[in-house]
Amino acid sequence: MQAVVLCAGRGNRLRPLTDVLPKPLVKVADREIVRSPVEELLNLGINDITFVVKYRSAEIEDFIRKNYSGEFRFVDQIGLGGTGAAILSARDHVSDEFMMLYGDNVFSPGTVRALFEAPGDGAVGVMRSPEPERYGCVELNAHGNVRRIVEKPKAPDSNLVVVGGYRFPPDIMQYLSTIAPSARGELETPDAVNLSIEAGSTYSCSSMEGTIDIATVEDIARYEAALCPEVQSRSTG
Overall residue count recorded for the chain in this entry: 237
Q: pLDDT at position 80, please?
A: 59
**In the predicted structure, residue 50 carries a pLDDT above the cut 70:** yes
Q: Average the pLDDT over each of 60-69, 77-86, 164-173 and give the range with the smallest value.
A: 77-86
The pTM (predicted TM-score) of the whole model is 0.88
How far apart CA 96 and CA 75 sit, in angstroms, is 18
Strands (E), 12-145: 27-28, 31-32, 48-53, 71-76, 98-102, 105-106, 122-128, 136-140
Distance (Å) of CA 136 to CA 54, 174, 190: 23, 20, 7
> pLDDT category, 86, cuts 50, 70, 90?
very high
**In the predicted structure, residue 199 carries a pLDDT above the cut 50:** yes
**Average pLDDT score over the chain:** 87
Dihedrals phi, psi of 119, to nearest 5 degrees: -70, 170
Distance (Å) of CA 148 to CA 21, 121, 161: 36, 15, 11
> pLDDT category, 11, cuts 50, 70, 90?
low
SS3 87: helix
Enumerate residues 6+ apart whose C-beta is below 8 A from 92. Answer: 75
Q: Average the pLDDT over each of 10-14, 61-65, 169-173 and give the range with the smallest value.
A: 10-14
Q: pLDDT at position 231, please?
A: 41
How far apart CA 75 and CA 7 sit, in angstroms, is 10
Nearest to 218 by CA among 100, 110, 134, 108: 134
Q: Give the model confidence (pLDDT) of 124-152 as tens digits.
A: 999 998 888 877 899 988 898 999 998 78
Position with higher pLDDT, 220 vs 130: 130
Q: Which domains does the chain have, with CATH numbers?
A: 2-231 (3.90.550.10)
How far apart CA 117 and CA 55 sit, in angstroms, is 32
Q: pLDDT at position 23, please?
A: 87
How far apart CA 227 and CA 198 sit, in angstroms, is 41
How far apart CA 157 and CA 189 sit, in angstroms, is 19
Enumerate residues 6+ apart whose C-beta is below 8 A from 23. Answer: 7, 9, 10, 11, 14, 33, 55, 103, 104, 214
